[in-house]
Amino acid sequence: GCRVPAYLRFRPSMPMEEKKASPHRRIKATVQYDGTDFLGFQRQPRGRTVQGVLEEALGKLLGHPLTVKGAGRTDTGVHARGQVISLVTESSIPAQNIPVAARSLLPPDVIISSAEDVDEAFDPQKDAVSKTYCYRIWRGDVPDILTARYTYWWPGKLDFELMEQETAHLVGRHDFASLRATGSSAKTTV
């Protein structure tokens, strides 16, 4: 199937503190990507990752090596429409100019939708309060070539009543420890 972390919600931003003597500033950006040709979000020793592509392009744009931190990690082949990242830079390029300026440095399967300066305490993982995943099923006798990357083709009949009954079990608080990635830094699995 196709998993699309379409939206992430965050706590309201804290007012930015007055500029300190440090030349460093934290930037929050929203990115979207087609995960088909990626080994997931998180940088890995071998293989193409979203984090690696972003760090390379933004490092060139901002003029120094940097680390991108994402609100979450997507797996191989997973797409995102609203992944939030943060980075620290010394560059004076206005944050709101970064999406357009980075466009020529990024491959066609990654886009920075927006960017803004935020308080240095902002953390895209800790400050996220919800994530939305979207799974799409294409019903029909044949798959649709234009949506095949983003849908799961099911040529048979779907039992909507049974689907509603089964998905009702997902509502509420649950412990997802069995789905936790090895080495995960998550504080809780609930």
Which residues are catalytically annotated? Answer: 75
In whole angstroms, what is the distance from residue 23 CA to residue 43 CA? Answer: 26
Angle at 8 between CA 188 and CA 68, to 5 degrees: 80
**C-alpha count within 13 angstroms, C-beta hemisphere, residue 92:** 0
Supply 83's token pair: 């992944």
In whole angstroms, what is the distance from residue 67 CA to residue 58 CA? Answer: 9
Longest dimension (CA), the chain: 64
